[in-house]
Amino acid sequence: MKRFWLLISPLVMAVTFPSLQAGFAAGGPSDRFAHPPIHVRGKAKPAPVAYMPSQIRHAYGIDGIINDGTGQIIAIVDAYDDPTIANDLETFITTFTLRQMNGLPGQPTCAAGGHPCFQKVYAQGTTPPVNGGWALEIALDVEWAHAIAPGADILLVEANSNSLSDLLGAVDVAVGQGAKVVSMSWGGSEFFGESLYDYHFSQATGVTFTAASGDSGTGVIWPSASPYVVGVGGTTLQLDSFGNVTSETAWSGSGGGISAYESEPVYQTNFGVMGGGGRGVPDVSYVADPNTGVEVYDSTPYNGQTGWFTVGGTSVGTPQWAALVALADQTRTAGSPSLYTTQTSSPIYYAANSTAYASDYRDITTGSNGRRNCRICSATIGYDFVTGLGSPLANNLVPFLSGIR
């Protein structure tokens, strides 16, 4: 049994899982709350049955590149504590090492200086309460970030609660720990003054942030609405028996639209996004439909169940896009900083605003996330407010991003 270095203490408590419909309330950061956009299909199972790492890696061309994230730190920021995540990650690794051709390697002990490794830290300095819903989200984020970038170190930063102030504090801790890419599979309704908190991202030069766009269809949530964050939308992904993509369409639950409070960044204006002066969300997409979901192992009870869960939601793609950025950062041109987004420049859009667009992205052109006669609710050719630029063709996109100066 492999051991992991965990910066933890023994306090364990139970709390009620916040409603998925709850957005940010009025008031200061401590009075606003986020939820994880995750959907569970069916009950827990003794063995995985839905999409597995080898299938997803092949569907998005990840198995066509040699990068594995070596030397990179992927930070996963979530709320509450998952006390079983180290063992659950080990089960995930062991299971798919046996089940797929390119097995995921086990992780050595961080305390011994081994890499890749797994580390858990508490953002507010004390052990957070345990929450079954957030624990499942943590398992999803950690396991699938590792599935995409098995050579990267995984840094899990747990906030003491799902309040915005605690979660943003955890983001700051992740950056302070040296992570160059940070995954945030959570969000809440937009609110007046949200741009005042964008400094948590804008001041972290050389760090890429990814965030889920939401699972309620047409509509924008924060922090994916921040122009300094890569917002990740969702698709329905169909594969044949060989793991080849037969279709990828917009998922009806994919959050998206035009921000009411964030200005349209220059990189979207230059790309031709017709946001009417508002920030368009999402930027990119990834599989999210729970009917074509992925497998996650979790032994912290969720609704009284443990085992393998089939999950979907835009939080599926958020850690995997973070991992893709880590793959690109691994071989960045000598002297170039890690990838990051500003108000004027986005490497994600630069990879699309060229003749390489069709090679770097699978443009999602069918499907909708809203009612009929809604001009921003349907996937179209090029950028749209449901799937953004599209889904990654990593065998081309990662090398392109690696070479951007």
Helix (H, G, I), strand (E, B) or coil at 195: helix
Task: Tell me: pLDDT of 257 over 80.
Answer: yes
Question: Which is nearest to 185 in space by CA: 284, 295, 38, 332?
Answer: 38
> Under 8 Å CB-to-CB from 212, ≥6 apart: which residues?
36, 37, 184, 185, 186, 187, 221, 224, 231, 232, 255, 313, 314, 315, 317, 318
Q: Using H for helix, E for strand and C for coil, what is the string for 243-297?
A: CCEEEEEECCCCCEEEEEEEECCHHHHHHCCCCCCEEEECCEEEECCHHHCEEEE
Question: Which is nearest to 163 in space by CA: 118, 199, 197, 139?
Answer: 197
Dump strand ranges (E) for 83-147. Answer: 118-122
| Residue whose structure tokens are 């964030």 | 262
d(CA 315, CA 211): 8
The pLDDT tens digits for 118-149 are 899 999 999 999 999 999 999 999 999 999 99
Name the average pLDDT for the chain. Answer: 88
pLDDT at 1: 34
The pLDDT tens digits for 175-194 are 999 999 999 999 999 999 99
Q: Which of the four pLDDT bands, split at 50, 70 and 90, describes residue 110?
A: low
Looking at the domain 31-403, which fold is it?
Rossmann fold (3.40.50)
Q: Is the separation of the CB atoms in 86 and 110 below 8 Å?
A: no
Task: Tell me: pLDDT of 9 over 70.
Answer: no
d(CA 314, CA 233): 6
pLDDT at 21: 33
* Type of residue numbered 350: Y
Strand 208-212 relative to strand 181-184, pairing: parallel
The DSSP letter of residue 32 is B
d(CA 360, CA 394): 7
pTM of the model: 0.90
d(CA 303, CA 297): 14
* Type of residue numbered 114: G
Q: Is the separation of the CB atoms in 291 and 312 below 8 Å?
A: yes
Please give the average per-residue pLDDT across 357-384, as a whole number: 92
> Under 8 Å CB-to-CB from 319, ≥6 apart: which residues?
74, 76, 140, 141, 142, 144, 145, 148, 183, 185, 210
d(CA 25, CA 29): 9
Helix (H, G, I), strand (E, B) or coil at 22: coil
d(CA 129, CA 82): 9
Please give the average per-residue pLDDT across 34-51, as a whole number: 94
pLDDT at 100: 32
The pLDDT tens digits for 328-353 are 999 997 678 899 999 999 999 999 98
The percentage of residues in the chain with a pLDDT greater than 90, rounded to a whole number, is 78
> Under 8 Å CB-to-CB from 27, ≥6 apart: which residues?
none
The pLDDT tens digits for 189-243 are 999 999 999 999 999 999 999 999 999 999 999 999 999 999 999 999 999 988 8
